Structure 1
C-alpha cells in the first residue's frame, strides 16, 4: 500500500477559510436591494383557516407584501405531492407557515408578521401514531387520493398511512410453533429528533425578468433542488440555477426540497426582486423538518442454542404532517429489517404514518439506525434469556459467504466474522 497519503496529515481543503471566518455560507450572501421574508406560523396543531387579515401588517413601514397559501397554488413533495407552499384551508402542526411577510428590513418583516391576524377553527389533533391508526381518527390529509405518488410507494386511501411496505420470506408462524423455540417479544420507541444544524435553513432567491430562477441556498442536494423546483413550478429544468455554498451542517435536513419554492415565488410576488429567508433557531425547531418518530413491535424466535429461526416486525414511522423522505425511510427500514443475520423466516410490515406534528425528512442512517437498534436490542434480550454471550449469539447468526439477503436476494461476499 502506498504511504503517500496513509498516515499523513492532509489538511481539509476549506479548513483555513473556516478557522479564519472567511468561508462564505449561504447565510452570508446578500445583494443590494435584497428584501427580507418572515414566516407567520400556526399556534394550533390542527385547525381550519377561516380568515387571514393582513391589513394591519401592510401598514407597517417597510412592509411590501404579505403572501398566503392562496397566492401560491402549487403542490410540492418528493415522493408524494402532499405539501402546500403555505397552508391552504387548514394547518397541520404547530409551526405550520400560513403567511409570509416581505419587507425592506428584517425588523419590518418581523413587525409585520406579528400583525397578521389569523382566525382559526380548531380541529381534533392527531398527536400519536396509535391515534392516527384508529378507524375513527381525524384525517391529516383528506385528499390523499388526489396527490401524485412516485411509483413504488403505496399510501392507503382514507387513512393516515402515507406508505405501506411489506417483506415476507418463509413462514414465521410455523417457525414460532416449532419445538424448542424461545419467543422474544418487545416494543421499542424513539421520539422525533431535530437535526440542529449550526446553520439554520436559509434561501436567497431571485426570479429574474427573463424567467430564470436563481437560488443561493444551504442545501445538500443542489441537483435534486433544481429538478424538484422545476417540476413543482412548471418550469424547464435549465431555468433553475442553484448555487450551493458550503452548508453549515445538513445531516439529511437539507437533502430534499426545503424553502426554495416559497422564497422564489415571493421574489416573483414582489416584482422579481431578490428575497432572503433565514430561519431563526426557534423557527428551525418548530417549522422545519425533523427525523421521524419510530415504534418497532418485534417478535423473534430462537432455538435454545441461539440460532435465529424467525423474525416478525412491525415498524411505524411518525411522518408528521408531510411525509417527504419518510415514506422512503419506512421502506428502507423494512428492506433491511433482518440486518446482517441469516434468518430463514422473516415477515416485516412498515408504515409511514401522518400525524399533526412537525413534518419529517431524512436524517443520518435513513431508517437503518432505528431498525437495527431494535434488532440488536432483541438479540441482546435473547442472549440474556438463553444465557449466551451477546457476541457469540451474533457470530452464530451472521450471514456467511454465499448466503442471501432476504430483501434483495443479493449474495453475501467474504468478510470478517
Structure 2
C-alpha cells in the first residue's frame, strides 16, 4: 500500500511549540492567586511520630495553610485498593526517608521552604530494614506493624513436573542474579496544580500518563465523587511508567487548595525526584535450568524476591506480570515460579518500562549463555532449538498465534556477523558479540480486566479535521502518530488535523499510555473513527450528486 503521510519523515506536530517555548508544561502555567505548595518529608527511614508543632509555620508571613494528617482524609491508597497501605500524610509513623509528614501553601517558594523549616516534628527512631535479608529475618522489624511479616505479596506458578524433569536432564545450571533499583530520570519532574472552583469541582493539572485512572485514584483517596474531579495532563517531559499511579502530591495539593480557596502548585526538586518519585523494583533471582545433551530445555525453576520499598504501589502487579512472562518466551514444558514482594524502609517502586519483565529476562538469558558454555554449544543454537513457534500452546497456556522469533534471531546474528566474530581473538584487542531475547506485550495487556480505546473525528465546514483522542503524548510522538492516521485515511494534510487530548472532561475514558498500547489501541480507534467520517462524507456527497 502506498502511503502519503504514514512512514514519511514529517515534522512532529508539537515540534514548533516545544522548541520555541510556546508549549505549556505544568510548571509554566500561570493563574490568578496561584500559591506554592511544599511537602515536609521524613528525615528518618523508620520512626514513630510523637508530636508535630506547626505553630511557627502558621504564623509566618505569607503562609496561607499548613496541614498534617489530621487535616486530610484517613483513606489508605495503593494501585490495588485491597492492598492499600499508604496515607496521604503519615499519621503515626514514617517508613522511608522522604515519606510525607506535613505540607504548606505559601505566596512563593522561599516562604514555603521557610515554613517547612519551622515545623517541629518529634520522632522516635525505630530499627529499619534496608536489605531483603534483613527484612525477611524471623525477628525483623515490621515496616507495617499491622502485617504478620514484611512479605506483602506472593505469587506461585507451576507447570508440569520440574523436579522429575531436572532428574532427567544431562546438564543443569544454577545461579543467583540481582538487578538494582533504577530511577526513571525523566527530564520533567513530578508536579501538579490543584484548584477547586465555586461549584465544588476539583481540577488538577499534572504530567500523568493516565488521566482517567488517576482521576479515579484521586477520587478514591479524597472520598470525592469522580464526577467532581477533572484531570488535565499538560505537556510531558517523559514518563516511562513513573507517572502512571497517583503521586501523593495530588491529594495534598487538593487539600491545600480547598483550605485556601486558591490554586496550589507542588513541584518536586530534582533531589525529591530521585528519592521520592519511585523507581524500578530491584529483584534478587535464584534460577535453575536443565537441558538434555541435545540442547532441549526440559525444566526451569525461578525464585524471585522483589524489594517493594515502603509501600505496595505497583509491586504486586509487576511481579505477577513477571511470572506470566517467565513461561512465554521459550518452549519449556516444566516450569516453577515462586515470587515474593517484601517491604523495606526504602523508596517505593512503581511501574517502569518492561514491568518486571526485564529483570526476569536478564536472569534467564544470562543463564542460557552459561548453560550453552557448560554444554559446549553455540548460544544461538541453544536458543533456536527452544524457540517458540507459531501455532504452539506453551506449557503455561500461552497461545502462540504468530511468531517470528527464529527469523528474528537469524536476522540479528547475520547482521552482527555472529559466525565470524564470535570467539575471534585479535592481538591486543578483545571484542565480543552477544545476544539476548525478550518478549513483551505490544498492546498493553488486560491488567484492568479489559483493554479498549475510543476516538472521535469531527469535520468542519472549511475542511479542518479535529481529532479527539485519549492517546497520551509523553514525548514519544503519539499525537503526531494519531494525526498521521487521520490525515492518511481522510486524504488531508497533516497540518489540517487538530488533536485534542489530555482532558478527562473532553476525552473518552481510557487506561492511559503504557505497555506500548497507545499506537495499537488508540491508533486503531482513531483509524476506525476516521473511516467512519470518510464514509459519512462519501454518503453525503453521493446524495448531493
Q: Same fold (TM over 0.5)?
A: yes
Match of 2:155 among 140, 145, 165: 165
Based on CA coordinates, which of the two structures has the bigger radius of gyration?
Answer: 2
**Aligned residue runs from structure 1 range 174-193, under 5 A:** 174-178=164-168, 180-193=169-182
Query: Separation in 1 of the partners of 2:6 and 2:170?
Result: 49
Q: Which runs of 5+ in 2 are unaligned?
A: 407-545
- Matched with 1:103 is 106
- Matched with 1:83 is 86
Instruction: Tell me the CA shift for residue 15 of structure 1.
Output: 0.9
**Aligned residue runs from structure 1 range 128-277, under 5 A:** 128-144=131-147, 158-178=148-168, 180-258=169-247, 259-270=249-260, 272-277=261-266
- Matched residue count: 402
- Matched with 1:413 is 402
Instruction: Tell me the CA shift for residue 7 of structure 1.
Output: 5.2
Secondary structure at the residue paired with 2:294? coil
Matched, 1:43 2:43: yes
Cα separation, partners in 2 of 1:387 and 1:85, compared to 1, 3 Å: same
Secondary structure at the residue paired with 1:75? coil
Matched, 1:321 2:304: no
Once the two structures are superposed, residues 131-181 of structure 1 have per-residue CA deviations (whole angstroms, 9 ceiling, x without a partner) of 21222111111234xxxxxxxxxxxxx111221111100111111111x52
Query: Separation in 1 of the partners of 2:192 and 2:131?
Result: 32
Secondary structure at the residue paired with 2:279? coil
Instruction: Tell me the CA shift for residue 214 of structure 1.
Output: 0.6
Instruction: Tell me the CA shift for residue 416 of structure 1.
Output: 4.5
Once the two structures are superposed, residues 228-265 of structure 1 have per-residue CA deviations (whole angstroms, 9 ceiling, x without a partner) of 11122222211111111121111101011112111111
Once the two structures are superposed, residues 49-86 of structure 1 have per-residue CA deviations (whole angstroms, 9 ceiling, x without a partner) of 11111122223221122111222122221112111101
Matched, 1:55 2:55: yes
Instruction: Tell me the CA shift for residue 6 of structure 1.
Output: 5.7
Retained in 2: the 8 A contact 1:297–1:314?
yes
Task: State the structure with bigger RCO (CA 8 A, min sep 6), 1 or 2.
Answer: 1
Query: TM-score, normalized by length of structure 1?
Result: 0.93
Query: Separation in 2 of the partners of 1:30 and 1:75?
Result: 32
Instruction: Tell me the CA shift for residue 286 of structure 1.
Output: 1.4
Cα separation, partners in 2 of 1:104 and 1:166, compared to 1, 3 Å: same
Structure 1 outlier segments of 4+, above 4 Å: none
Moved more, 397-406 or 10-19: 397-406
Give the CA RMSD over aligned residues.
1.5
Matched, 1:30 2:20: no
Cα separation, partners in 2 of 1:169 and 1:121, compared to 1, 3 Å: same
Query: TM-score, normalized by length of structure 2?
Result: 0.72
Secondary structure at the residue paired with 1:277? strand
Q: Which runs of 5+ in 1 are unaligned?
A: 145-157
Query: Separation in 1 of the partners of 2:405 and 2:357?
Result: 21
**Aligned residue runs from structure 1 range 371-410, under 5 A:** 371-410=360-399
Cα separation, partners in 2 of 1:382 and 1:81, compared to 1, 3 Å: same
